Each structure stands twice: as C-alpha cells, then as structure tokens.
Structure 1
C-alpha cells in the first residue's frame, strides 16, 4: 500500500502561506528522526531480551546440572514462563516491524512533496528488499532469535525430562 502525497495535506499550500515549504521540510526531518528512534528502541529491546535470555539459559543449565530442578509441574513452570516470554519478544519485534513499515510509507509519501527522495532512491538501490544479495532486512533475522531461544528452552526442558 502506498500513500498519496497529496493526502498528507491538512491545509492546501496556497492557503497555508509562505512558510509551507519550510514547515513541510521541518516535519519531514522530525518524522525521519522519529522513525530512526523506533529502530533504536527496537534494537534496545532486542539487546535487553538477548541479555535476559542468555542469563536465564545459563541459570537453567546450572540448575539442571546441579539437580536443583526436578521433573514436576514446579520444575517445568519456569520453562513455560520463559517460552511465553520468547513469544512476547517475538510479538514485540513484529510490532516494531509493522510500525517502522508504516512510518517509512509516510516518509516516502513526504518525499513525494520534496525536491529529492533519498529514502526512495536507497530502497530502489536495495532492490526493494526483494533480493537478499542486495539487502537482507534485519527483521528477517530478528524473527528467528526469539524462536532459537525458545528452542533452547525446549531442549533444556527435554534434558530435565530425561534426568527423571
């Protein structure tokens, strides 16, 4: 879905006044900055979850090795909780991807009102995200990380099962 650049106007240029182009460019700069902040927040969230899950995997491994976790509902409860946490992380990544996608559609529409369109040109140069040789979107990789951690938790739960 593309956004018609003309649909962004709340007030036509001819009735807005002399500051129209200046204000349009300032709004464009602000909007691009906000899109960049969404990406930064996404990376911060990923760093947080990787750190938490790395610590939890380490803790569960030690607890299993020391025989502290037992094959019971109580023993499996932490695994269920962290697998749910992996699902939450996966949904957060998906949400950020959707939010960024929407923001960049607006950025591209705003560029339709400006003399140059660097993000449009960059996207064309990257093959529109269709060729992994030109560009592999980070979200494709990000989607797998929570699933890999969930798989590790399943393997640890399986090790608990095998311990008896």
Structure 2
C-alpha cells in the first residue's frame, strides 16, 4: 500500500517549498484521510439506521396486518413475492454493510501508510493494538461483525414468519 501512496517524484528534499511545508502538506492530507474515514463511518451508520427503521416498520405493518383473521388466509401467490422482496431488501442491506466495511478497510490502510511517516502511529497501529486487534470480543467487538448479522436475523425472521403462515 505504501508504494501506491507516495509520489516518488516529490519528497521533502525536492519539494518546491521548505521541508516544513512538505511535512505540513503530508499532515494535512493525513487529516483529510482520517476525516473522510470518519464520514464513511457516519454514512454507514445512516444506512444502517435507514434499513433498521424500514425493516422495523415493515415488521410492525406485517404483524398488524396479519393479526386480522381475514388477512391470514392470503393466497400463497401473494405471500411468496412479498417474501422475495423482503429477502432482497435484507440482501441489499447486507451488501451495503459489506461495501462500507471494504471502503473503510481501504481508507484505514491508507491512513496506516501515512502514519508510517508521522512521528506517532496513534490511530491505526497503537489504537488497534490497544483493542487487541479485534481478536478478543471482551476487549473489543468490531461493529462490522455485529452489523452483518442484523440483516441475516431479519431474513430468518421473515422466513420463519412466512413458514408459520403457510402451516
């Protein structure tokens, strides 16, 4: 990653400004990368909130609708397409979460490469090590591991609910 990050033609020695300006430029780019990683995390949180709200509202609607006796006998021809749409929404949510995780992983690799040239490697190296690198859930449970399960749990709930209706 480090090879792709650094422009070989420009370094502190051949930068057109004093070396201090070069280092300031590197630090400004580093701060921008950290800010962008934070923004991706915020957008990821908004996406999760959107999907969680949507699915929760759908479950409330379906529970209310199916609590009425005459709706319980809806034809299977209507139930199967609805189930497929709901499962498709769960798949879309899971793929969205996965995409944000991949994007953040790339951003943190770039941030780590920046930190190799900074006096301290606090954000990627030290903090991640302090959290046990996500290996022990009692020290730190990475959100990505948890959030991937939520769309799957909704999918299972939909499958079980529709199976119960079919019986």
TM-score norm. by structure 2 comes to 0.90
Q: Which has the higher contact order (CA 8 A, sep 6+)?
A: 1
Distance in 2, matches of 1:7 and 1:59, equals 50
Cα distance in structure 1, aligned partners of 2:6 and 2:107: 16
- After the TM superposition, which parts of structure 1 deviate over 2 Å for at least 4 consecutive aligned residues? none
The equivalent of 2:53 in structure 1 is 51
SS of 2:14 mapped into structure 1: helix
- 1:42–1:93 CA contact under 8 A, matched in 2: yes
Q: Distance in 2 between matches of 1:7 and 1:63?
A: 56
- Provide the residue aligned with 1:145 in structure 2: 150
Q: Which region of structure 1 is more displaced relative to structure 2, 11-20 or 113-122?
A: 11-20
Match of 1:13 in 2: 12
1:10-159, aligned counterparts within 5 Å?
Answer: 10=7, 11-16=10-15, 17-18=17-18, 19-66=21-68, 67-68=70-71, 70-119=74-123, 120-159=125-164
Q: Report if the CA contact (8 A) 2:90-2:154 is conserved.
A: yes
1-structure distance, mates of 2:5, 2:87? 42
TM-score (normalised: structure 1): 0.91
Aligned residues: 159
Name which of structure 1's ranges 20-29 and 122-131 shifts more when overlaid on structure 2.
122-131
Partner of 1:136, secondary structure, is coil
Q: Which runs of 5+ in 2 are unaligned?
A: none
Separation in 2, partners of 1:87, 1:28: 34
CA contact (8 A) 2:11 2:22 kept: no
